[in-house]
Amino acid sequence: MSLTFVRDPQVTPELHEELARLWYDVSRAGGSVGFVASVTEEEVRAATERQLGRVTSGEYRMLGAYDAEAGGRLVGTTFLRLHTDFKMRHWSMVLGVMIDPALQGGGHGLRLMRETIDMARDAGLEALRLEVRGGMGLEGFYGRLGFKEVGRVPGGLRLSADDYRDDILMWLALD
């Protein structure tokens, strides 16, 4: 099964619904996309409103991955946060990297990230940055794409009263 990628999809009520569903499913399955697995639908809906508001305002760009065989369902996303500060306009933070739990482990995540890298290159960006939650093995995933760990804040993320994770900073130069 191959996915179709769409840069900057139109922000419609349907996209709001689809992103909220995807983000909720990924979070409930334990994904590290801003929440922990006990997140509620209301919290994800509120975050979806904020996220797509930033897409509409031009603060973020979005890449959507769609499963044509499942009626064009949204099954993956990434977002690029664009800087207004002139000192940082040459790079972008990658956020919201997720693939539908039912499709994870099939190589779609790597393809999604390669498309994101192409989108960044086409936008003239020189580098990408990521903040990765420690203890998930995600450094290996991003390492496959050439990202390098360039910093780590020990215990910089607190997921619950006794669950502290490193905040790992990764960087990819787009040369």
Rg (CA), the chain: 16
Nearer to ligand COA, 61 or 108 (CB): 108
Bridge partners for 46 per DSSP: none
Site for ligand COA in 107-126 (CB under 6 A): 107-110
CB atoms within 10 A of CB 167: 16
Question: Per rule CB under 6 A, is residue 168 in the interface with ligand COA?
Answer: no
> Could you give the string, one character per residue 1-30, with x where binding to ligand COA holds by CB under 6 A and - elsewhere?
-------------------------x----
Question: Per rule CB under 6 A, is residue 172 in the interface with ligand COA?
Answer: no
Using CB under 6 A, pick the residue from 65, 138, 168, 172 that binds ligand COA.
138
Q: Which residues contact 106 (CB under 8 A, 6 or more apart)?
A: 1
What does DSSP say about strands 163-173 and 127-133: parallel, antiparallel, or unpaired?
A: antiparallel
Question: Per rule CB under 6 A, is residue 39 in the interface with ligand COA?
Answer: no
Name the one range near ligand COA by CB under 6 A: 6-14, 47-55, 61-69, 96-104: 96-104
Question: Per rule CB under 6 A, is residue 157 in the interface with ligand COA?
Answer: no
In the numeric block, which tokens belong to residue 105? Answer: 């482990």
Q: φ, ψ for residue 115 (rounded to 5)?
A: -65, -35
Alpha helices in 29-129 (DSSP H): 41-57, 108-122
Binding site for ligand COA (CB under 6 A): 26, 31-33, 97-99, 104-110, 132, 136-138, 140-141, 144
